[in-house]
Amino acid sequence: MNRHIRLIRHQRGVGLIEVLIAVLVLSIGLLGIASLQARTIKNNESSLQRTQAIMLSYFIIDAMRANRDAALKGGYNIGKTCATPSDTGSAAKRDLQAWIGALKTGLGETGGAATSGGNGGNTCGQVQCDNAGNCVITVIWDESRAETGSTAQALATSTRL
């Protein structure tokens, strides 16, 4: 009987250490899950922005196909432009103004109203078409929330009108 009592006294507090170790392991696991969730949210944001860029490329392509004659004459050609154009003299200019505005709305404007060059921010668009109807539409945006090496992203879409 004495021996049994002595064993009980000797094992005192072992349960508390086991509980503390279990809590530590559980805490590390929960931190891993939280990190995974944060990374998933960032990747989903990146995927959304890429999808928006593709849809906005098709936005201007559809406008150019609806006004094919002006597109073939270079009416839609615009260099890398980050500021919303103010010239609305023709249907092509109005389409470009609406497109750049949609780029800024859809992809966000993280750089503020103007950059050092006065271009109007980090979300930009470019359209280059030749007289044969071969066009390249480039969308450039800032993907600062994603964990890629560079935050500047560009998507080029080639098409024939």
Pick the closest to residue 53 from 156, 136, 149 (CA basis).
Answer: 156
Instruction: Please report, for the chain, how many H helices and E strands are present, in that order.
Output: 4, 4
pLDDT digits (tens, 9 = 90+) for 134-152: 999 999 998 876 655 567 8
What is residue 142's predicted lDDT score, i.e. its pLDDT?
Answer: 86
Q: How far is CA 140 from the centre of its chain?
A: 10
For the chain, residues with pLDDT lower than 50 are: 110-120
Backbone angles phi, psi at 85, to 5 degrees: -60, 145
